[in-house]
Amino acid sequence: MAKQKLGFIGVGNMGGPMSAHLLKAGHEVLAYDNNEAALARALAQGAKRMASIKQMADEVETILLCLPTPAIVEAVALGAGGLLEGSKVKTVVELSTIGPRTAAAVAAGLAKRKIEYVDSPISGGVTGAVKATLAVMVSCPRGMFDALEPVLKNFGKTFYLGDKPGQAQTMKLANNILSAAAVVMTSEAVVMGVKAGLNPKVMIDVINSGSGRNTATEDKFPRCVLPRTFDVGFKAALAYKDVRLCVDEAEQLGAPMVVGSAVREMLAITLASIGKDADYSEVVKVCEAWAGVEVRG
């Protein structure tokens, strides 16, 4: 694989390990993040600091984004001092979860300057980012996918969803609402069992040996809930954002999202009860408070 000069905006919990994989593969990585601690970690791994988004867009042709919200992505791509003002950038690879409508809007905005947009959200969490086992969903013209796949495979397994911006985002939203539903329903089910006198660790072991196993029972509960560390590494606010985007998109399409709406409400209640910095796994605390029990392994 030919080595490339790549820009990477957003080198935090997910972007940091991903940019490190690019460096290990021999690529030159130019990094930007407004979080100095995150940027310092990337620089320690060999990345080169960029003073601004525009500086990066003036120096590199391909730039990857790994950012938390649709509004931030729009500002970085299309706002003042953003990628749109760069003189060299030709391709923007969107690794964030921003929903299909924002993806289409960003793609259209960049197209005005003949900058290609690649819709490429990722799934697998911080563990997947560190281990390079992410699911990398991609929608863009097929030729562009073929050209970029050697870079994207540094993050995990690639999946081609189609040629239109937003198709990969729709796939990501479907994935994430299933993940969130697993957290919410596992919280409710385990709290019910504890209220009835069952041992939560035994419950998790039984579920993982039966048909109810899911990503929450296999990872999040044993690792973060039973030991009461609540450190999945993904904020409930981001999970709420993803689920809200999914429910809104389903409504726009005229597709049912009855259970998804309930998952969205549980995440909203978690944020209202625990606070805006709540960890994803702290959904269980809402159920515990209502039931008057504690899940502890």
Question: Cα–Cα distance between 6 and 48 in angstroms, integer?
Answer: 10
What residues pair up with 116 in beta bridges, in sequence order? 91
In angstroms, the CA 60 to CA 79 distance is 18
Q: What is the mean pLDDT of residues 248-269?
A: 97
Instruction: Give the pLDDT confidence of 93-122 residue by residue, as tens digits.
Output: 999 999 999 999 999 999 999 999 999 999
The CATH number that domain 5-165 falls under is 3.40.50.720
CA separation for the pair 74, 83 (Å, rounded):
10
User: Which residues face 65 on adjacent strands?
Assistant: 9, 94
For tokens 């003036």, the residue is 58
Task: Report the alpha-carbon distance of residue 105 to residue 44 in Å, rounded.
Answer: 35
6: pLDDT strictly greater than 70: yes
Q: Which residues, in sequence order, are CB contacts of 124 under 8 Å at separation 6+?
A: 133, 134, 135, 156
pLDDT at 64: 98
- Please give the structure tokens belonging to residue 81: 């001092």
Confidence of residue 2 (pLDDT cuts 50, 70, 90): confident
The pair of structure tokens assigned to 223 is 């690792």
Tokens 């905006």, located at residue: 9
Q: Which of 172, 220, 241, 285 is catalytic?
A: 172
pLDDT band for position 157 (cuts 50, 70, 90):
very high
pLDDT above 70 coverage of the chain, percent? 100
pLDDT on residue 1:
61
pLDDT in tens, 191-232: 999 999 999 999 999 999 999 999 999 999 999 999 999 999
CATH class of 170-291: mainly alpha
Tens digits of residue pLDDT in 7-63? 999 999 999 999 999 999 999 999 999 999 999 999 999 999 999 999 999 999 999
In this predicted structure, the answer to whether residue 190 has a pLDDT above a threshold of 90 is: yes
For the chain, the structural domain boundaries read 5-165, 170-291
- 172 catalytically annotated: yes
Q: What's residue 229's pLDDT?
A: 98
Alpha-carbon gap, residue 225 to 170, rounded angstroms: 29
* Confidence tier at 297 by pLDDT (50, 70, 90): confident
Instruction: Using the Cα atoms of residue 283, residue 289, residue 290 and residue 296 in order, give the sign of their dihedral.
Output: positive
pLDDT at res. 61: 98
- Asked if residue 154 has pLDDT above 90, the reply is yes
Distance of alpha carbon 108 from alpha carbon 69, whole angstroms? 18
At residue 8, what are phi and psi to the nearest 5 degrees?
-140, 115
Predicted confidence (pLDDT) at residue 128 exceeds the cutoff of 90: yes
DSSP letter for each residue of the chain:
----EEEEE--STTHHHHHHHHHHTT-EEEEE-S-HHHHHHHHHTT-EE-SSHHHHHHH-SEEEE--S-HHHHHHHHHSTTSGGG-SS--EEEE-S---HHHHHHHHHHHHTTT-EEEE--EESHHHHHHHT-EEEEEES-HHHHHHHHHHHTTTEEEEEEESSTTHHHHHHHHHHHHHHHHHHHHHHHHHHHHHTT--HHHHHHHHHHSTT--HIIIIIIIIIITTT----SSBHHHHHHHHHHHHHHHHHHT---HHHHHHHHHHHHHHHHH-TT-BGGGHHHHHHHHHT-----
Quick one: pLDDT band at residue 233, thresholds 50, 70, 90? confident
- Beta-carbon contacts of 289 under 8 Å, excluding residues fewer than 6 positions away, are 273
